[in-house]
Amino acid sequence: MAEPTAFGRPLTRSLDPLPGESLGGYLLRLAHRLHPSPIRLARLTGCTKQPSTTPLGRMLLLDLDVVSFARATRLSEEEAAAPTFFP
């Protein structure tokens, strides 16, 4: 997989969020599909700037750059900021 960045081109593939799915669940499904680790995917999509050894947690919701995340995952900004992503 080519190295996308939070401010560069979007991921090569993406997924539609499932109804009621959390951001963490979405990242886990997308990581399974694309094969990077979930924390690496979180960093690539602009969800977190924490070191790759830091586990994913609720703090990533506070750092979420919705515009960059939407661009990276090929979602609309409305989909990326959907209330279902924020439990």
| pLDDT for res 32 | 92
Question: 23-74, pLDDT tens digit by residue?
Answer: 878 888 999 999 888 878 877 887 766 555 556 566 555 557 778 888 888 8
Residue 61 pLDDT: 56
Q: Which residue has the tokens 């979180």?
A: 42
Which SS3 state, helix, strand or coil, does residue 71 take?
helix
Arithmetic mean of pLDDT, 4-18 = 73
Domain ranges within the chain, ordered by starting residue: 23-85
